[in-house]
Amino acid sequence: MDVLSDAITGMRTGVPHSSRTLMAAPWGMRFAPSDGAGCHVILQGSCWLLPPGREPVPLAPGDVVFLPHGRGHAIADAPATPLVDVIQDQDGNWVPSEEAPRGTGPATLMLCGAYRLSRTRGHPLLTGLPDVVHLPARIGTHPTLRAAVDLLGAELEQPGPGSDALVPALLDSLLLYILRAWLHEHAEQAATGWAAALADPAIAAALHALHSDPAHPWTVEDLGARAGLSRAAFARRFTTVVGQPPLGYVTWWRMTVAGRLLATSDAPLRVVAESGGYSSEFAFAKAFKREFGMSPGRYRRRHDNKAAR
């Protein structure tokens, strides 16, 4: 798998939800902090995003905004409009927690999406994103993102056979297109970080090789060869761009893969150890405890208990 797909797979849990909302001014919705992430797409009209501790952000038709860290936010027809807390119902729709007067002013139509994420082992590609990822609508930019928005909007407006499967899949696609667009826009500006790493052909080649086969007995020399660089040049470049040494990231990713297997499958410990490149269960258990602060068995039991609640 590629790095972006792995980063999403490693963090996302449960089924994403979405709603298509038409609001007439005045209106204001406050979203509480959560473990997940959210996005808004403005289809018609305009509004304001109100992030905590930051200046309001004006949103126009076609704008996409992604809030990756679940820190809570509000969205309203105007910055001064009183806000009503909203909650998510069983169908994924955002509904007011209390009765609010129905507006009669200009209308705004938007898509709202919500993703559940596990923060316990967040990939730095996602955890390093800004609080607000704002992708303004510009003619000719990000056509695949626009196509995903159109498909999701049409499916929510007129559900048909298979909608229960289509909508979550389209939401996952929308998330990936949002991240692709942001990474593309920041690749040339960034000297370090994951936008720079994925835009650097040498570093991206090494990361792709590692993510495709984390169990391989990787050495810095092997990864450097995949990158087309000498061992020393690759180590320097990787550490500068990614923010940690190559083998440090190799170990971190292997343990992340192992932790995900323990939490989501009944695979025997031997299989989990092999997925992380360990031929010995004892050596794997020792490395796992060093990384997570607990044994693999305890880690699995803890996640089994959470799932049972």
Convert the pLDDT of each residue in 9-31 to its tens digit: 888 888 888 889 899 999 999 99
Band of the pLDDT at 91, cuts 50, 70, 90? Answer: low
| pLDDT over threshold 80, residue 93 | no
With left for phi above 0 and alpha for psi between -120 and 50, is residue 140 left, alpha or beta?
left
Question: What is the reported pLDDT for 188?
Answer: 78
Mean pLDDT to the nearest integer, 209-228: 96
Q: Give the CATH architecture of domain 3-187.
A: Sandwich (2.60)
Mean pLDDT to the nearest integer, 229-239: 97
Q: How far apart are CA 167 and CA 153, in angstroms?
A: 9
Question: What is the reported pLDDT for 77?
Answer: 97
* Mean pLDDT over the full length of the chain: 91
Task: Judge if pTM exceeds 0.85.
Answer: yes
Q: Where in the chain is the domain with CATH 1.10.10.60?
A: 200-308
With left for phi above 0 and alpha for psi between -120 and 50, is residue 264 left, alpha or beta?
alpha
Question: What is the reported pLDDT for 119?
Answer: 80
22 backbone dihedrals φ, ψ, rounded to 5°: -115, 120
Q: Where in the chain is the domain with CATH 2.60.120.280?
A: 3-187
Do residues 213 and 254 touch, judged by C-beta distance below 8 A?
A: no
Do residues 197 and 207 touch, judged by C-beta distance below 8 A?
A: yes
Q: What is 200-308's CATH number?
A: 1.10.10.60
